[in-house]
Amino acid sequence: MLLERGNKILIKKGPKENRFRPSIDALFRSAAHWYRSRVIGVVLSGMLDDGTSGLWSIKRMGGLSIVQEPREAAFPGMPTSVLESVKVDHSAAAGQIPTLLVKLSAQTASRARRIPAKELKRLEIEIMIATHDNAFEMGIIEMGELTAFTCPECHGALSRLKESKIVRFRCHTGHAFTLSALLSEVSESVEDMLWQAMRGLEETNMLLTELGQHFDEHHKEGTAASAFFSKAKMLKEQARVVYESVFSHELLSGDLRFKK
């Protein structure tokens, strides 16, 4: 989701950001780019840290920021993340935010800030990536520090981008992740791979058993049947170990700090 000059909100099929499309961060960045200090960004209850980077961009361009009080949020991850990384203008209960927005929108906006050309260029490139899905051609890899991590979506190389305290990653095809979202996605992909490994072991076990039964029925004089049954037994034990690993595997993210 993007905001363009003329107040048009567009839904684009660009690369996902933090595993989602449309993206709150892409919306906030585009609003900050076009309207600078006349933007008010609001982050409410939600998991992980979506909105933090976008709200940082709004503040960087001279706009205002509001977050829901984490103590009253059903899911405090998003507002807490913002408070940890962005100098927020207002923190309020959800029921107070509409009145606050009316009050702030009636005030005169502050003057837009002067932003270094390199930083402004990166903001423009990220907005274009969300629109056109051509991160490699736009040179996003050169705008960050190349890492050893790979994108969970497309397995491309990830480049590390820094915004004050915020660390984000983009791959050469444009997918974007915060640290917390990347951890969540990687831990989820590990679980998926464990399920696939268990399925493969169980299928191999069934095939070995079927082969053993075939040779036991049609080639009683040979020892092939016992060899197949022995291998099937071994694979069954391996599948059990993987099965236990699946259920002991923990899905991790930055929201781990909220768990008791």
> Does 222 score more than 70 pLDDT?
no
* pTM, full prediction: 0.75
For residues 186 and 134, state if they share a domain: no
Residue 209 resides in a domain? yes
For position 243, what pLDDT does the model report?
85
For residues 136 and 189, state if they share a domain: no
For residues 132 and 71, state if they share a domain: yes
CA distances from 238 to 51, 190, 207 (A): 43, 17, 15
Among 91, 120, 140, residue at a domain's last position: 140
Q: How far apart are CA 211 and CA 225, in angstroms?
A: 7
For residues 37 and 134, state if they share a domain: yes
Give the mean model confidence (pLDDT) for residues 233-252: 83
For residues 197 and 108, state if they share a domain: no
CATH code, domain with 51 = 3.40.50.180
Residue 163 resides in a domain? no
Q: How far apart are CA 38 and CA 25, in angstroms?
A: 17
pLDDT digits (tens, 9 = 90+) for 170-220: 988 888 999 888 988 888 888 888 889 989 999 999 999 998 888 888 876
Residue 210 resides in a domain? yes
For residues 11 and 82, state if they share a domain: yes
Tally of CB atoms within 10 A around 164: 11
Greater confidence (42 vs 10) lies with 42
For residues 133 and 216, state if they share a domain: no
Q: Which two tokens stand for residue 216?
A: 């036991």
Residue 211 resides in a domain? yes
Min mean pLDDT across 54-58, 65-69, 76-80, 123-127 is at 123-127
Give the mean model confidence (pLDDT) for residues 30-42: 92
For position 61, what pLDDT does the model report?
93
Q: Which two tokens stand for residue 48?
A: 């992980």
For residues 17 and 131, state if they share a domain: yes
Three-state DSSP string of the chain: CEEECCCEEECCCCCCECCECCCHHHHHHHHHHHHHHHCEEEECCCCCCCCHHHHHHHHHCCCEEEEECHHHCCCCHHHHHHHHHCCCCEEECHHHHHHHHHHHHCCCCCCCCCCCHHHHHHHHHHHHHHHHCCHHHHCHHHHCEEEEEECCCCCCEEEEEEECCEEEEEECCCCEEEHHHHHHHHHHHHHHHHHHHHHHHHHHHHHHHHHHHHHHHHCCCCCHHHHHHHHHHHHHHHHHHHHHHHHHCCCCCHHHHHCC
Domain that holds residue 192: 181-258
pLDDT digits (tens, 9 = 90+) for 97-154: 999 999 999 999 888 788 888 888 888 888 888 776 566 566 667 778 999 999 988 8
For position 149, what pLDDT does the model report?
92
pLDDT digits (tens, 9 = 90+) for 7-22: 666 666 667 888 777 7
Residue 145 resides in a domain? no
For position 8, what pLDDT does the model report?
64
For position 7, what pLDDT does the model report?
64
Q: Are 139 and 88 in contact (CB under 8 A)?
A: no
For residues 128 and 185, state if they share a domain: no
For position 134, what pLDDT does the model report?
64
Our count of domains for the chain comes to 2
Residue 71 resides in a domain? yes
For residues 228 and 129, state if they share a domain: no
How many percent of the chain have pLDDT more than 70?
86
Q: Are 143 and 160 in contact (CB under 8 A)?
A: no
Residue 74 resides in a domain? yes
For residues 6 and 130, state if they share a domain: yes
Residue 54 resides in a domain? yes
For position 9, what pLDDT does the model report?
67
Confidence of residue 55 (pLDDT cuts 50, 70, 90): very high
pLDDT averaged over the chain?
Answer: 86
For residues 65 and 119, state if they share a domain: yes
Among 89, 113, 140, residue at a domain's last position: 140
Q: How far apart are CA 134 and CA 173, in angstroms?
A: 6
For position 138, what pLDDT does the model report?
66
